[in-house]
C-alpha cells in the first residue's frame, strides 16, 4: 500500500512533531524546531485523549486542534487534592509550595503531585494532571507511519 494513502490507526508507530499549548498562553511542550519523536499509540507517551485526535491523519498533514479541558487532560477534580502529612516526604528534601513531587506507589509506578500549600504538619497536594481544567491547543504533524499493527 502507498504510504501516502495510509492514515493513522490505533496501535500505529508514528514519527511526528507535536506542540501542546495552553489556549491563549504559553507553550508547554513541543518537538517543532527539534527532531521529531517516534511513539507507538497506546504506549503512554501521549494521553489517550490526545491520541484520539491523531486518528485518520495522513503523513505530511499538519493539524491544530483547540480542545476543551474534557477533550485533553480532563477537568480539574477537587477530590484529587489531598492533605498529606509532612512525614510522607523525604526528610532531606522538605516540600516547597508550587513544586512538583513524584510519589512512589505500592505497585512500583509513580504519581506526580503539585504542592499547593504547606502548614506546620501537612502539605496540600494536587494530583490532577498539571494541565487539567485548562483549554489546550494541540498541534501535530505526522512525518511518517513507521509501522501499523500486523505489519
CA angle 8/12/18 to nearest 5° reads 65
User: Going from the N-terminus, what domains does the chain have, and what CATH number goes with each?
Assistant: 3-74+133-147 (3.10.50.40), 78-126 (2.40.10.330)
What is the pTM assigned to this prediction? 0.78
Length of the chain, in residues: 151
Measured CA to CA in angstroms, residue 118 lies from 59, 79, 82, 96, 145 at distances of 48, 18, 12, 8, 47
* Band of residue 5 on the pLDDT scale cut at 50, 70, 90: confident
Question: What is the average per-residue pLDDT within 42-53?
Answer: 89
**Helix residue spans in the chain (DSSP H):** 48-51
Measured CA to CA in angstroms, residue 20 lies from 109, 120, 139 at distances of 25, 37, 7
The 10s digit of each residue's pLDDT in 50-98 is: 899 999 999 999 999 999 999 999 999 999 999 999 988 877 888 999 9
The 10s digit of each residue's pLDDT in 104-133 is: 888 988 889 999 999 999 999 999 999 999
Lowest mean pLDDT among 1-15, 54-68, 134-148: 1-15
| Predicted local confidence at residue 104, as pLDDT | 83
Amino acid at each position: 500500500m502507498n504510504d501516502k494513502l495510509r492514515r493513522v490507526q490505533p496501535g500505529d508507530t508514528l514519527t511526528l512533531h507535536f506542540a501542546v499549548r495552553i489556549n491563549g498562553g504559553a507553550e508547554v511542550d513541543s518537538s517543532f524546531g527539534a527532531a521529531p519523536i517516534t511513539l507507538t499509540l497506546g504506549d503512554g507517551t501521549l494521553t489517550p485523549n490526545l491520541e484520539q485526535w491523531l486518528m485518520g491523519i495522513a503523513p505530511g498533514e499538519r493539524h491544530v486542534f483547540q480542545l476543551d479541558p474534557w477533550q485533553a487532560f480532563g477537568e480539574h477534580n477537587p477530590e484529587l487534592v489531598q492533605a498529606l502529612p509532612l512525614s510522607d516526604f523525604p526528610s532531606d528534601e522538605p516540600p516547597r509550595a508550587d513544586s512538583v513531587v513524584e510519589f512512589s506507589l505500592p505497585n512500583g509506578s509513580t504519581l506526580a503531585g503539585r504542592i499547593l500549600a504547606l502548614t506546620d504538619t501537612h502539605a496540600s497536594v494536587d494530583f490532577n494532571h498539571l494541565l487539567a481544567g485548562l483549554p489546550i491547543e494541540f498541534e501535530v504533524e505526522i512525518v511518517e507511519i513507521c509501522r501499523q499493527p500486523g505489519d
